[in-house]
Amino acid sequence: MISGLLAPGVLRGLPHKRWSPGNEPGADRVSPANQRGILMRGQRLLRHLVALSIAFGAGSASAAELAELPSEVLSDLVSEVEQSDTDTDTKLSVLKLLSSDVRGDVRASVAEAAGHLWPDNKEDSLALVRALAQDGSTKVRAAAANGLTRMLYLASPAERVEVVCTFAVADAPAERLALARALSSHVPVLVADLALEQLANDDEPEIRAAAVRAALQRIDEAPATYRRLAAERIADPDRNVRRAAKRLLGRA
């Protein structure tokens, strides 16, 4: 059982007494600092092995069992799934399972990794990012924007246009905000200026501010467009939007 691997004496606490600091063979030759370093490396290795065992046995672990694991173990699991050659169905199964974890750190890891499901699982990648963009945690919502950025990097130019348009016209403000944040990256998108113009006129001030900040990062792509955008938002009723517009005007 997973919980057995994580008993206090195995992962979180000290090993058996015979291996406790000052009691193991040769302790007089190992400094306390080195002992702690050895213990920490052992714990990291064990977490890595636990993550691997779950990744390659996806579907066999229940949400309840995963809830017993420390968040750092699950973060290791997400990283392992994301970077390994595990088949895409297994990756998807693991990320879907962890996307509903009660801990925000775990869901945030999933949100960023979801972008890497593209292009093998396009619909599922989109669905995960869109769902986590609406998460109750600020950290998870920010991570979903990073996941969207990763998705855009992996997409073809035509696919990028499709994804950007999908998020730009989304009913959920959180999805539009994720797009505005994602467009602050330098991934080339043919319709980035059109999308940011629309988002800069959004009803939600947080989205307008994020769009103006993204325009600042892309100023060299369409200076005339972004100069006009800044001029329109310089008198915005929201202080954060005005500040962003002022900085943009200074660069335009």
- How would DSSP label each residue in 22-91? TTSTTGGGS-HHHHHHHHHHHHHHHHHHHHHHHHTTTTSS-HHHHHTS-HHHHHHHHHHHHHS---HHHH
What pLDDT score was predicted for residue 252?
62
- Taking the C-alpha atoms of residue 75 and residue 61, their distance in angstroms, rounded to an integer, is 16
φ/ψ (deg, to 5) at 229: -60, -45
Work out the mean pLDDT of the chain and round it to a whole number.
82
Give the span between the Cα atoms of 61 and 90, in whole angstroms. Answer: 12
60-69, 129-138, 201-210: least confidently modelled range: 60-69
What average pLDDT does the segment 213-234 reach?
Answer: 96
* Mean pLDDT, rounded, for 67-73: 73
Give the rounded distance of the alpha carbon of 18 from its chain centre. 41
Confidence category of residue 15, pLDDT binned at 50, 70, 90: very low
Dist CA 51 CA 104 (whole Å)? 18
